[in-house]
Amino acid sequence: MVLVDTLPPCMSGPLRFDIIDRCGETQARVGRVETAHGGFDTPAFMPVGTRGTVKGLTPEQIRSTGSEIILNNAYHLLLRPGDGLVARRGGVHRFMRWDGPILTDSGGYQAYSMSDINAVDDEGVTFKSIVDGSMVHLGPERSMEVQNNLGADIIMAFDDCPPSVDPATLNESRKRLAGKRGGPHAKGYDHAKRLVEAHDRTKKWLHRCVEAHRRPDEQALFGIVQGGTDLELRRASVEAVCGVDLPGYAIGGVAVGEGPELIREVVEHTAPLLPVEKPRYLMGVGYERDIVAAVKAGVDMFDCVLPTRNGRNAQAFTREGRLHLRNAKFSEDDAVIELGCDCAACGGGFSRSYLRHLFQVGEMLGPTLLSVHNIRHFQRLMLDIRRAISENDWSLLLGAWPVLRAQYAPATGEGVDAAGEK
Amino acid sequence: MVLVDTLPPCMSGPLRFDIIDRCGETQARVGRVETAHGGFDTPAFMPVGTRGTVKGLTPEQIRSTGSEIILNNAYHLLLRPGDGLVARRGGVHRFMRWDGPILTDSGGYQAYSMSDINAVDDEGVTFKSIVDGSMVHLGPERSMEVQNNLGADIIMAFDDCPPSVDPATLNESRKRLAGKRGGPHAKGYDHAKRLVEAHDRTKKWLHRCVEAHRRPDEQALFGIVQGGTDLELRRASVEAVCGVDLPGYAIGGVAVGEGPELIREVVEHTAPLLPVEKPRYLMGVGYERDIVAAVKAGVDMFDCVLPTRNGRNAQAFTREGRLHLRNAKFSEDDAVIELGCDCAACGGGFSRSYLRHLFQVGEMLGPTLLSVHNIRHFQRLMLDIRRAISENDWSLLLGAWPVLRAQYAPATGEGVDAAGEK
């Protein structure tokens, strides 16, 4: 344990944040966040429970992975079953029977990325519902209303999330992804101008969010820093966003197609600029190395769909790298996914052969077991990261996690995805 | 406890069957079957784990329903992943991580009902694989080989399962179902003749099964009685099948389109003809009342896809009848599926509103939770049935299970299925 510049607990709104250990040679810190629904150790990994369920897992199974806080998507829940309905059920904790901490995103990112955008302007975004085709408006006030209704412990400001790199510089598949987000289809699209516009809007909308937030004593509102890959704009965004006193701050607009090196550059630049005494949250990131790099830059909270989404697609995370369990070479493999893993799938003795069979015949137990394993994989990484910080020794982590030392595999190599993609 | 004509334990092959209680006024009995993988109380309900998994449930979740024995389908497992592969994994118990008793069917029923039959003759059935279109032959010898490879505790004889009623007398939907089973498409189809043919083949094939069975000391082979709705033919089949000394006997060819009254008539006629000291198994039945009627006729074992298949389709079984949770009236219903139910879904406090949401958005947790509830529903019924037998008092059962008193609902009534269908 290395105690450096120990800070008093930070009480801000309904949140308490204690920094317990710090690592001398990096910005990394071990902490504990307390909410009305209990606490979670940081650096923390939050599994994604899009529609009020971490796909295929009971709350008990989520708990078995060591997860202490989960994320829900406001966008999906506002469309179905509706935030008003969830409020009448007593909020999303009671609705989904998860009594631990919950964080909701603001819905903006999904509105941009999942919908045919009808209009983005200073009032927010108007999009076509993927459910019934009706037009839905989401702006700072409505996003706060939705999140107040859902009742999560941590809620996110409604931000304008532009493509992080100029779509003109992207390859085709990333162009398609980025093209959905921020209107680069429009004639005369000017990326630098779009970043500044997003930064301005994010700043203005944050004030409107604070104003509209009806439950500041129960729900901690986090601000979101934007700025794309423009480091100066990131600094300006930090100044503007952190100028508002909030219980925590997030780095948004990262890992949206720009690749691991740029993710790292932006995070290493931005995280240390955020208030040291408040929790810092890097949204939507990522692979193991992205997380370790961000922790070293001082990030405390992470969420990512990788363990669950890849798990549903038969991809298992291990310390040595990812296994594609549909591969024929596993058909008679009696080993568990990963020797020494204490997840319910490995601990339960389910073989790669059996898991492959489940995926080959389309049985839901396959996605369930692999999601449990993959989330546990990330939670064990966080455990080892916290130990590395407390012991001020990263060598053990690198020794135990070969995946952290390997080169990023190219997108076409043996079915291994390019790192950094969401 | 009413002890009537107490029998000594029946040791037959690897099976031990103790009749513990009998009910004076009916043929019902409470017992316990012991296998190499543990025992199960009778009357017993076996959830169906078609492809080596009870869809969406971990073995722990299956266990939580009170299930002590499950059924696997030899047909599905021989196609994928292949019975040889399962044997090389150490058998189906180890493969799927279920350490309790398992029963496999012979594969004949699925070969008839699920496939375009190429040929049924005295050697068995040749059908087109639903996986790769290849031609697969299944006869008594191959069925025994498959089941020996899978390694279940109880295995079933390969039988010829004809339509139980003349397809000419069925309505269109049932005709379609029955039409697949036993070649009534053929010109000059003679139902009475087909039943006799099936009875003859079943008898001959049973001898070939006994001959081919390689593991009689580890796996208990049950014979299957056929005969359709022809009671005299049922008697002849019992005589032929029970003429072979086996650890247990089953009633097959029931609940294949003939409706609840005929099911009951055949079961009440046939069950008491089976050896009193051996376990009696009614295949593929059924709804609550079908089960109670069969228990009173002396049946000890049941399997049915109803709790899991209907559960995946948002239908919840309750003592009052079935609920269709997709119905809009449940959208704001905070009650659990059934008050007083001790299943993991009701005990976990998941509301009808939440479950409806899961089904509306297609989340797998819905089928998982409803399958858990529905299987528990049937296990609680079996518990109450065993108590009714031991206490020689059926009035409590009828009081606690209103669904047993209700009239069979017509197929079109408020989405309630016709009882008796599989």
pTM over 0.80: yes
Question: Taking Cα atoms as reference points, which of B193, B141, B270, B365 lies closest to residue A54?
Answer: B365
Partners of residue B32 on adjacent β-strands: B18, B41
Which of helix, strand or coil describes residue A16?
strand
List pLDDT tens digits, range A272-283. 999 999 999 999
Least confident of A314-318, A352-356, B183-187: B183-187
* C-alpha span between B169 and B308 (Å, rounded): 30
Residues 339-398 of B with CB under 8 A from A: 344, 348-351, 353-354, 356-358, 360-361, 363-365, 367-369
In three state form, how does the secondary structure of chain B look?
Answer: CCCCCCCCCEEECCEEEEEEEECCCCCCEEEEEEECCEEEEECEEECECCCCCCCCCCHHHHHHCCCCCEEECHHHHHHCCCHHHHHHCCCHHHHHCCCCCEEECCCHHHHHHHCCEEEEECCEEEEECCCCCCEEEECHHHHHHHHHHHCCCEEECCCCCCCCCCHHHCCHHHHHHHHCCCCCCCCCCCHHHHHHHHHHHHHHHHHHHHHHCCCCCCCEEEEEECCCCCHHHHHHHHHHHHCCCCCEEEECCCCCCCCHHHHHHHHHHHHHHCCCCCCEEECCCCCHHHHHHHHHCCCCEEECCHHHHHHHCCEEEECCEEEECCCHHHCCCCCECCCCCCCHHHHCCCEHHHHHHHHHCCCCHHHHHHHHHHHHHHHHHHHHHHHHHHHCCCHHHHHHCHHHCCCCCCCCHHHCCCCCCC
Question: Taking Cα atoms as reference points, which of B204, B213, B285 lies closest to residue B251?
Answer: B285
List pLDDT tens digits, range A133-184. 899 999 999 999 999 999 999 999 999 988 766 767 766 665 655 555 444 5
Is B58 within 8 Å of A367 when comparing Cβ atoms? no
Q: B312 to chain A: nearest residue by CA?
A: A364
At A97, the pLDDT band (50, 70, 90 cuts) reads very high
Is B56 within 8 Å of A88 when comparing Cβ atoms? no
pLDDT of residue A92 exceeding 80, the answer is yes
pLDDT at A185: 52
The mean pLDDT of chain A is 90
pLDDT of residue A419 exceeding 70, the answer is no
Is B59 within 8 Å of A348 when comparing Cβ atoms? yes
Name which residue leads in pLDDT, B118 or A348. Answer: A348
pLDDT at B232: 96
Question: With contacts defined as CB-CB under 8 Å, which chain A residues touch B337?
Answer: none
* C-alpha span between B337 and B323 (Å, rounded): 8
List pLDDT tens digits, range A27-66. 999 999 999 999 999 999 999 999 999 999 999 999 999 9
Which of helix, strand or coil describes residue A318?
strand
List pLDDT tens digits, range A215-225. 999 999 999 99
At A377, the pLDDT band (50, 70, 90 cuts) reads very high
Give the minimum alpha-carbon distance from B304 to chain A in angstroms, rounded to a whole number.
19
At A87, the pLDDT band (50, 70, 90 cuts) reads very high
Name which residue leads in pLDDT, A353 or B117. Answer: A353
pLDDT of residue A413 exceeding 80, the answer is no
pLDDT at B115: 66
From the first residue on, what is the mean pLDDT of each consecutive set of 10 residues in chain B (422 residues)? Answer: 66 95 94 98 98 98 98 96 98 98 93 74 90 92 98 97 72 57 61 90 97 98 94 97 98 86 95 98 96 97 98 98 98 98 98 98 98 98 98 94 76 34 32
List pLDDT tens digits, range B173-191. 656 555 554 445 556 788 8
Share of chain A above pLDDT 90, in %: 75
Question: With contacts defined as CB-CB under 8 Å, which chain A residues touch B58?
Answer: 344, 348, 365, 368-369
pLDDT at B315: 98
Q: Which element (helix H / strand E) includes A282?
A: strand A280-282
